Chains A and B, each alone.
Chain A
Amino acid sequence: MKKGLIYSLLLPGILIGIFLAFHFGTASPLGGPLPSDEVESRDALIKDFLDEQGYLQSKIVSLRNEIESAQGEISIQSEEYGLSVLEKLKEDIGLTEKRGTGLSILLDDSPSVSRDALEVSDHELIQASDLRDVVNLLRAAGAEAISVNSQRVIATTPISSVGTTILINNVYITPPFNINAVGDKDVLLQRVLNKELLPSLYEKGIKNNIIFEIALKDMITIPVYNGDIKANYLNLIN
C-alpha cells in the first residue's frame, strides 16, 4: 500500500480518536454537578452569607471600639487593671491599626482570562498559594503587619482557596490583590525582588502575563483584624 494512502487514513483516524475521547470525557456545563437553577440558588445563598459576613465584621470592629472606650474610662479611675498589658497584647496579635513605612504589592490575573470561565488555566490566575508565598516571605523579611485586600493577616490567618475563590480569614477576596506590609521597606523590597524566593510567581509573570507590581510606601496603614479569635483549646501555663 502506498505511504501517502496510509497517512491519509492514519491522520483523520487519529483526529477522530482524539475527538471521540474528548467528546466522551468532557462534562457539559449543564451536565455538571449542579443544574443551572441550583447554581443560581447557590450563588444567591453565597451572596446572603457574604452580606451577613460584612455586617458581622463591622459589628465586631464597632464592639471592640466600644470595649476600648469603656476600658479607657476605667483606666482613668484606676491604673491597676493592667490595661497597658492589654494594649501591648492587642498590638502583638493584630488588634490595633499599624502605620509606617513599607511596601505595597499588586497581584492580578492575566488580563486574557476570566475566573468565571468554564475552562481556565491555573497558571494564568493568582492562586492562594501565591498569596501565601508572598505573605510568608514578607513575614520572614520582618514585616510588622500585613494585610491582603484590607484583611489583616495575623498568626492564625489561613489563606486558602475553593476552586478559583480565595479566602483570607475565611473571608472572600477577589482580584486584584493588594498586599500591604509595614516594615523596613528596603529589606522587604530586596526579598521580594529575589526571584529564587518566589519562583512560581516570577515564572507566571514571564510565561502567563500575570500582573505583579511592587511599590515602596513612606506611609502605609494596615487595618485592625476584624475576625474572631479562637482560644477554645488553649490553656495558659501558670
Chain B
Amino acid sequence: MSERKIYILIVAIILGVFITTQIRSFLSINDLLVRDTQSNPFQEIQILRHNNEDLTSEIKDLETSLDKLQDQNQALGAIEKEINKYKKMSGDYGVYGPGMSITIEGNISTEWLVDIVNEALNVGAEAITINGIRTTNKTGGLDTLPQGQILLNGSILNSPYLVEVIGDGELIESALDLPGGIFDRIQNAFPETKLVVVGKDFIQMD
C-alpha cells in the first residue's frame, strides 16, 4: 500500500473516532436535560434502608399512641398530640420551622417547578410554599395556562418564583445542588434562569 493510501486510511479512522465522540457528547448533553436522576447502584439500598427506618419509627409512635389511648388518664393527651400532628400537615393551620428558600428568576416551565417540589420532598421536606401558596392535598397541582403561565390554587404565579421549604435545610440544599442534580438540570434547560438558594432558621407559612 502506498504512503498516500495509508494517510487516507488514518485520516478516515480519526474521522470515525471524531464522529462517534461527537454523537456520544450529544447524547450526554441530552442526559443533562432529562428530568429524572441517573442510576446509582447504592442509592436504591440507601433509600430503602432510610424508608424502613422511618416506617419503624412511625410504628413506635403509633404503638405509644395506642398504649396511651388504652389508659383513660393519657387518652386525651394522645388524641391532642395526633390532632396537632395532622394539623401541621393539613395546610389549614399556620406553621413555622427551619428550612431553606429557592428563588427562581426567569423562565421555568410547570414540570420543572413540579420537579423542584418533588426533589425537596424526596429528601424530607415537610411543608412547601410556592409564592406564598402552600402545596397541600387541597391546593391541587400546578397548572399550565394556554399562554404558558403557571397556576396554583387559582392564582397565577409570576417570576421570581419563591419556593420555601420547611425541613432539614442543609440536607435539602445539598441534595438539590448535587452535580447533575435538579439545579444543574434546570440551569442546563434554562441557561438564562437564575437560582438563588438561602438557608433559613425560621420560615413561617400562614
Contact = CB atoms under 8 A, between A and B. Distances in A.
B159 interface: no
A16 B16 contact: yes
A72 to B, nearest CB: 10
B96 A237 contact: yes
B57 interface: yes
A18 B126 contact: no
The size class of the interface chain B forms with chain A is 35 or more
A42 B124 CA distance: 25
A136 B55 CA distance: 26
The size class of the interface chain A forms with chain B is 35 or more
Contacts, number: 265
A184 B74 CA distance: 42
Interface in A217-236: 227-236
A14 interface: yes
Contacts of A155: 89, 91, 135-137
Given A89-B87, A229-B58, A233-B97, A162 B44 contact: yes
B12 A235 contact: no
B158 interface: no
A60 B75 CA distance: 20
Given A9-B5, A56-B56, A89 B62 contact: no
Given A13-B10, A159-B118, A161-B37, A133 B86 contact: no
A146 to B, nearest CB: 9
Contacts of A142: 140
B163 to A, nearest CB: 15
Contact of B36 (A56, A89, A161, A170): A161
Contacts of B21: 21
Contacts of A114: none
Interface in A125-172: 127-129, 132-133, 135-143, 154-165, 167, 170-172
A231 to B, nearest CB: 5
Contacts of A97: none
A42 B41 contact: yes
Contact of A86 (B83, B142, B167): B83
B34 A18 contact: no
A12 interface: yes
A15 B84 CA distance: 69
Contact of A236 (B58, B95, B110): B95
A52 interface: yes
Given A17-B20, A89-B87, A1 B4 contact: yes
A45 B45 CA distance: 8
Contact of A12 (B12, B62, B110, B204): B12
A158 B15 contact: no
A13 B137 contact: no
Given A45-B45, A136-B111, A162-B40, 16 more contacts: A16-B13, A56-B59, A64-B62, A81-B75, A92-B137, A95-B86, A137-B141, A155-B89, A155-B135, A158-B121, A160-B36, A161-B36, A230-B54, A234-B126, A236-B94, A236-B95
Chain A to chain B: the 6 pairs with minimum beta-carbon distance, closest first: A17-B16, A13-B12, A163-B39, A139-B141, A21-B20, A237-B94
